[in-house]
Amino acid sequence: MTTIHRRIRQPLLTEKTTLLRESFGVYCFKADVHANKVEIAKAIEALFPGAKVAEVRTAVVRGKVRRMGRFPGKRPDWKKAWVRLTADSKPIDLFESA
């Protein structure tokens, strides 16, 4: 797995992110917890040629505490990244086909 794919894990396709994409041109991704905004922006521009990042917003989503019988466990933390592209950039085709 390359460092670009380590920074951007997968796209988030939910009703809320679809509305954000259609209304404001904001794309949502799962990102590495240790990736910063500059690394996320560079990874998006490298993964999707023609896409120019205008802004990146991030939030760390804490993992839930779950139980299996009497044994507690915890899901891992993950980072959510909202990426807004510039007006003159090409849209990301990955989201258009879904």
Domain 3-86 has CATH 3.30.9.10: no
Where do we find the tokens 């466990």? Answer: 73
- The three-class DSSP label of residue 44 is helix
Q: Is 2 exposed, middle or buried (0-12, 13-18, 19+ CB in 10 A)?
A: exposed
Average of per-residue pLDDT across 21-41: 93
Q: What is the dihedral of CA 46, 48, 52, 58, to 10 degrees?
A: -80
Spatial contact of 41 and 97, defined as CB atoms under 8 Å apart:
no
Q: What are phi and psi of 74, to 5 degrees?
A: -140, 135
Dump pLDDT digits (tens) for 38-69: 999 999 999 999 999 999 999 999 999 999 99
